[in-house]
């Protein structure tokens, strides 16, 4: 297991420029942030920009095993939206593969069905859409990771009440089972588990060997704050023990909110402290 950070830890500069700061702070890898992936897509020479990122990672001995793909309408009842999202996803996977990433993180989505019949249709389409995403990914020797989400607050209504599909790990397993693709696994978001009230150690154990990506961050159990580990209420020692128990040897990737608008010096100082804390956690 090694520590990493999502590249938006410094959000104001291009991804390739963030990399030296990550190395300097002590990170050995990271996740290509969605905001940076989009910058690749919008660049004058997208392929070249993505490749330059990969080359820079290699120079710095940084591993970037995962990327956060755009939030796609997986399971949406809107066919036009689906096709638009898949066109974008295909392009994002192409560029991510060129950038050296191997796993793309996707949210389960599905929206808020008004009736149980709609819910059933969304469940069917979700499986179909993830299967399609896995097929696209396979063309690039790429895997897809479905990320856990969390239930809504009390004022949201649907045919499933305020429950949101994908908040619980067995729900993610059900999609992985139904799709049946070899290049499909789970990205566990540690902050989301805390919001749903699922102890993190138990969450990792429930993922088991299907865990292929991590989003590590902390919160107060009420808001999705994306703070650094130990600043919230997550039981980290049990979580680290569980990661070892399931044999996870991949990235412990911090997906923490950037210090927007702060001087670069302060941001890098904070990065170093966060990396130290994460390293210490991994010694537990």
State in angstroms the smallest separation of the CB of 161 from other proteins. Answer: 4
Q: How far is the CB of 212 from other proteins (least distance, A)?
A: 19
Residue with smaller CB distance to other proteins, 222 or 276:
222
* Residues contributing to the site for other proteins (CB under 8 A): 114-116, 151-152, 154-163, 167-170, 193, 195-199, 202, 205-206, 221-222
- For other proteins, the closer CB: 157 or 276: 157
Of 222 and 260, the one with the shorter C-beta distance to other proteins is 222
| Angle in degrees, CA 224, 32, 242, rounded to 5 | 55
CB of 248 to other proteins, least distance (A): 18
Task: Tell me the C-alpha to C-alpha distance, in Å, between residue 176 and each of 78, 88, 138, 179.
Answer: 23, 22, 15, 5
Please say which residue, 43 or 159, places its beta carbon nearer to other proteins.
159
**121: buried, middle or exposed (CB in 10 Å: 19+, 13-18, 0-12)?**
middle
145 touches 213 (CB < 8 A): yes
**Which residue number, 211 or 259, has a Cβ lying nearer to other proteins?**
211
């Amino acid at each position: 297991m090694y520590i990493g950070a999502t590249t938006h830890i410094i959000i104001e500069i291009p991804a390739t420029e963030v990399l030296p700061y990550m190395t300097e702070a002590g990170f050995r890898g990271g996740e290509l942030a969605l905001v940076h992936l989009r910058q690749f897509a919008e660049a004058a020479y997208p392929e070249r920009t993505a490749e330059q990122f990969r080359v820079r990672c290699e120079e710095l001995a940084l591993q970037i095993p995962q990327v956060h793909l755009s939030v796609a309408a997986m399971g949406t009842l809107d066919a036009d939206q689906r096709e638009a999202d898949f066109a974008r996803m295909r392009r994002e996977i192409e560029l991510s593969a060129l950038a050296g990433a191997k796993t793309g993180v996707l949210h389960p989505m599905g929206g808020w069905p008004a009736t149980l019949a709609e819910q059933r249709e969304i469940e069917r389409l979700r499986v179909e859409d993830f299967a399609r995403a896995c097929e696209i990914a396979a063309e690039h020797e790429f895997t897809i990771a479905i990320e856990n989400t969390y239930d809504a607050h009390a004022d949201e209504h649907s045919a499933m009440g305020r429950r949101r599909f994908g908040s619980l790990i067995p729900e993610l397993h059900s999609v992985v089972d139904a799709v049946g693709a070899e290049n499909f696994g789970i990205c566990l978001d540690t902050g989301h588990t805390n919001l749903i009230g699922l102890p993190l150690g138990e969450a990792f154990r429930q993922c088991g060997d299907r865990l292929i990506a991590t989003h590590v961050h902390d919160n107060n159990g009420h808001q999705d704050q994306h703070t650094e580990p130990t600043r919230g209420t997550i039981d980290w020692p049990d979580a680290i023990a569980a990661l070892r128990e399931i044999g996870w040897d991949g990235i412990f990737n911090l997906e923490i909110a950037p210090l927007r608008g702060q001087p670069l010096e302060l941001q890098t100082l904070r990065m170093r402290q966060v990396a130290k804390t994460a390293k210490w956690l991994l010694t537990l």
